[in-house]
Amino acid sequence: MPMFNSTRRVKHSPEQMFALVADVDKYPQFLPLCEGLTVRRRIPRDGGGEVLLADMTVGYKAIRETFTSRVTLDPASLKILVEYVDGPFRHLENRWTFKPHEAGCEVGFFISYEFASRMLGMLMGAMFDKAFHKFSEAFEKRADLVYGRGAAPALG
């Protein structure tokens, strides 16, 4: 099963990066392969945060696929969990972590996935791998645009 794992240090606070990744409505503006995203439902969580049910449309050349996922936003622990609900995958799980670092934060990104169709996997698999390698960079560039290029505010 294909998977990708990265840790990237950025010059923004964990809270800023969490907010940026949690703002899923903006993904089509900057995320590779993401052509559309619709949040169907927002459910508040006891203790803070929320659970989103979202449809994301991804595309490459003439191929377009839409899938539904459940996104659990946990601001108290600075974690985001994305779980597959419906669409062209057999499996998809994505986890984000945001840990303080003296110059900002470490953004952890993990994804594992498997297409339900072997043919779709052959057509989209290589492009997905390339896109996932660019995801962390895309979020960092977006953070620089939204928050500026300066160092993160002091911790404490």
pLDDT tens digits along 13-25: 999 999 999 999 9
Domain extent listing, the chain: 3-147
pLDDT of residue 156: 44
CB-based contacts of 141, cutoff 8 Å, min separation 6 = 30
| The pLDDT of residue 109 is above 50 | yes
Section 79-91 average pLDDT: 94
Most confident of 31-35, 60-64, 147-151: 31-35
∠ CA 57-14-102, rounded to 5°: 140
| The pLDDT of residue 99 is above 80 | yes
Tokens 């995958």 locate to 89
Global pTM reads 0.88
Q: How many helices (H) and strands (E) does the chain have?
A: 2, 7
| The pLDDT of residue 154 is above 60 | no
Give me the helix-helix angle, 118-147 and 14-22, nearest 10°: 130
Q: Which CATH superfamily is domain 3-147 in?
A: START domain (3.30.530.20)
